[in-house]
């Protein structure tokens, strides 16, 4: 998605390509998610709004067409979803959002950040590995197509921002 379609405006309106998600972003987040996933897997505006209203939940939107939603509780954090619209892929949006989520989780006191990824998603797996995530578990047949979900984790330095 281009910035106009996502409703994020032009780059000069922001201090960078990644902006913290707030009450104005659920529809944009849902549109990006819908472009990134099959219709029965895409999250709607109400899901994003509901999550963002919960304590400990945070998200970021990339102006090129990306979204990440995560939550932190006690000393753990979890990425709930990360998505990049097809036309914005392979340009660094996922890495930028992942790093923003890592930094925010650490700033909120998390010492470990978890996520799940399909065993068939080699591109995402390579990104997560390059950012220091390692496999800590597996959910066999977790996804509707029968693929396994790999549970990945990254150790963080709580309060220190992005730890690598």
Is residue 128 flagged as an active site residue? yes
Rounded-to-integer distance, Cα 143 and Cα 17, Å: 31
Q: What is the CB neighbour count within 10 angstroms for residue 46?
A: 10
Is residue 116 flagged as an active site residue? yes
The residue from 63, 78, 128, 131 that is catalytic is: 128
pLDDT of residue 88: 87
How much is the pTM?
Answer: 0.85
The residue from 116, 129, 142, 144 that is catalytic is: 116
- Rounded to 5°, angle at Cα 49 from 13 and 29: 50
* Tens-digit pLDDT profile for residues 24-40: 999 999 999 999 988 88
Rounded-to-integer distance, Cα 140 and Cα 85, Å: 27
Q: Could you say which residues of the chain have pLDDT below 70?
A: 1-16, 158-164
pLDDT of residue 144: 86
pLDDT of residue 40: 85
pLDDT of residue 160: 61
The CATH architecture to which 3-155 belongs is: 3-Layer(aba) Sandwich (3.40)
pLDDT of residue 3: 35
* Tens-digit pLDDT profile for residues 49-77: 999 999 999 999 999 999 999 999 999 99
């Amino acid at each position: 998605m281009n910035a106009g379609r996502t409703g994020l405006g032009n780059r000069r309106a922001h201090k960078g390509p990644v902006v913290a998600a707030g009450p104005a972003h659920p529809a944009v987040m849902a549109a990006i998610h819908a472009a990134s996933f099959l219709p029965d897997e895409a999250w709607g505006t109400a899901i994003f709004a509901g999550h963002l209203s919960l304590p400990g939940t945070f998200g970021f939107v990339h102006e090129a067409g990306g979204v990440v939603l995560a939550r932190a509780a006690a000393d753990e954090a979890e990425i709930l979803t990360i998505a990049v619209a097809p036309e914005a892929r392979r340009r660094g949006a996922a890495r930028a959002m992942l790093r923003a989520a890592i930094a925010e989780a650490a700033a909120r006191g998390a010492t470990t950040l978890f996520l799940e990824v399909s065993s068939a998603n080699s591109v995402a797996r390579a990104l997560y590995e390059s950012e220091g995530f390692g496999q800590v578990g597996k959910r066999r047949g977790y996804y509707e197509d029968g693929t396994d979900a790999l549970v990945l984790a990254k150790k963080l330095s709580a309060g220190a921002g992005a730890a690598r």
